[in-house]
Structure 1
């Protein structure tokens, strides 16, 4: 498979309570806004929200399983969080190739949206696709 500017891929997941609890355990991010309903109620969001990096992980999943796919090496990522992700939200991560550069590096626009189409996260990734893919 050859990678070209304009290629896209996406992956979707509904964020569950279990996802948040497992992510907190693995990442050690036990911020009460993610885990404590009473504390989160007093926050800017008024309720518990998912970890931003849990959402960003969907981009990694898309890159490593869809485009460029298995064997991809993640080199860099910029992230801008623009809206909270709540328990029960279905999030779609989308990647789009914007440049196939020298040394085989691929630059992709990255974005996560909720079911209403609201962007919750955007940024840009740089990856090295599996050998022979560019």
Structure 2
């Protein structure tokens, strides 16, 4: 289950530098298995305890893109929200996410181009306060003028 801050679409006219939205989710074995099924990424580091124990991670980890998907959820559901179009995303993975970890995904507005409806956001995911993913997203925000 996701724990969200305020939901709802925020149109370009109402977005401000420094706005932050986030959500938190505990990653489960089922999440990892479903992501493997949907993505067809069945790397045993995600699915096989015995295999994963002998890797640098010393145990199973969630897919990096599963973690990154939580950033997408914040952008698509909260800031800016419904009607947002992704233009690009950079990511750097800083640490593993394991089954049972509670991940907090956050986005923060760093730049706005109102005339083009473009918004740049710093993106990050944290586990126990430690950054496991950082990046930057560029999106096309919805506008109240085009309802």
Taking structure 2 as the reference length, the TM-score comes to 0.87
Instruction: Kindly indicate whether residue 142 of structure 2 is the aligned counterpart of residue 107 of structure 1.
Output: no
Alignment pair present for 1:14 and 2:26: yes
What is the match of residue 40 of structure 1? 52
Q: Which runs of 5+ in 2 are unaligned?
A: 1-9
- Is 2:95–2:133's contact at 8 Å kept on the other side of the alignment? yes
- What's the CA shift string for 1:42-100, capped at 9, x where partnerless? 10010000000000000000001111111111110000000000000000000000000
Q: Distance in 1 between matches of 2:130 and 2:47?
A: 24
Aligned with 2:144: secondary structure?
Answer: coil
Matches within 5 A, 1:1-134: 1=10, 2-101=14-113, 102-114=115-127, 116-132=128-144
The size of the alignment, in residue pairs, is: 132
Q: Deviations over 1:28-47 (max 9, x none)?
A: 00001001111100100100
* Runs of 5+ consecutive residues of structure 1 not aligned to the other structure: none
Question: 1:104-129 CA deviation, whole Å, 9 max, x = no partner?
Answer: 10000000001x20000000000011
1:25 is paired with a residue whose SS is helix
Q: Secondary structure of 1:74's match?
A: strand
